Amino acid sequence: MKIGIYPGSFDPVTLGHLDVISRAMKVFDKLIVAVMVNPNKHFSFTADERVKLIQKAAHGIENIEIVSFDGLLADYAKMRNATAIVKGLRALSDFEYEFQMALTNKKLNPMLDTLFLATSAEYMFLSSSMVKQVASFGGDISAFVPSCILEEIQERLSRNNREPSNKE
C-alpha cells in the first residue's frame, strides 16, 4: 500500500491545501495529513482545532487520516510506514526552503522521498498567512477557505484581529 504523508501547519487549512490533498489522493492509496504541533510557534488555532477544521473540510474523502504530530517528520513518517512526503509548491520562492527540507528529511530517513505537486494556478497566491491578514481586517475570505469552515475561521481571526505570524 502506498502511503503519502502531507505535513504542514494548516493554520488554517485553505482551498489550496485541499487542492493538494485531492490531487495527492490520486497518487497514494492512503494519505496522512499531519498537522504540526510546535509549542514554540504561535498559531491562531490549536493543533486539535486545526485537525478538526481539516476533518470537516475533507469530509467525504476516503482513505485519508488527519492527525497531529510532534517531533521530527522523518521519524513520524517512518513510524507510519509512509512512502513519501507530499508538498505543494506555489512559486519559485517556496522552492529553496522546500528543497532544503526535502534533503534534510531524505538524510534523516533515506527511504523517504518528497513529492512536490505544483499548485493549481488559481491558488498560486494563496497562503494561510494571507487568509489571516485579510480576515483580521474584516475582508472576505470566502474564495480562500472551504465554505463549511468559513464562519469558524472568520470568527476566530477577526476576533483576534491578529497579524500573520509566519509564511504558511
Q: Which residues bind ligand PNS (CB under 6 A)?
A: 7-9, 36, 72-74, 101, 104-105, 168
Q: Which is nearer to ligand PNS, 97 or 138 (CB)?
A: 97
Q: Which is nearer to ligand PNS, 138 or 166 (CB)?
A: 166
Please state the closest distance from residue 134 (CB atom) to ligand PNS, in A: 18
Q: Which is nearer to ligand PNS, 16 or 146 (CB)?
A: 16
Q: Active-site residue among 9, 44, 128, 132? A: 128
CB 34 within 8 A of CB 73: yes
Known catalytic membership, residue 42 = no
Q: Which is nearer to ligand PNS, 42 or 138 (CB)?
A: 42
Please state the closest distance from residue 8 (CB atom) to ligand PNS, in A: 3
SS3 115: strand
Closest among 145, 162, 158 to 19, alpha carbons compared:
145
Please state the closest distance from residue 5 (CB atom) to ligand PNS, in A: 10
Please state the closest distance from residue 138 (CB atom) to ligand PNS, in A: 25
Known catalytic membership, residue 127 = no
Hey, what long-range contacts does 144-150 have (CB within 8 A, 24 or more apart)? 144/14, 144/15, 145/12, 145/13, 145/14, 145/15, 145/57, 146/13, 146/15, 146/18, 146/56, 146/57, 148/56, 148/57, 148/59, 149/12, 149/13, 149/53, 149/56, 149/57
CB 140 within 8 A of CB 150: no
Question: Which single residue brings its beta carbon nearest to ligand PNS?
Answer: 8
Known catalytic membership, residue 44 = no
Known catalytic membership, residue 158 = no
- The DSSP symbol for 69 reads E
What is the grid cell recorded at 107? Answer: 538524510
Q: Active-site residue among 17, 30, 87, 132? A: 17
Q: Active-site residue among 90, 106, 156, 162? A: 90
CB 12 within 8 A of CB 39: no
Among all residues, which ones are annotated catalytic?
17, 41, 90, 128
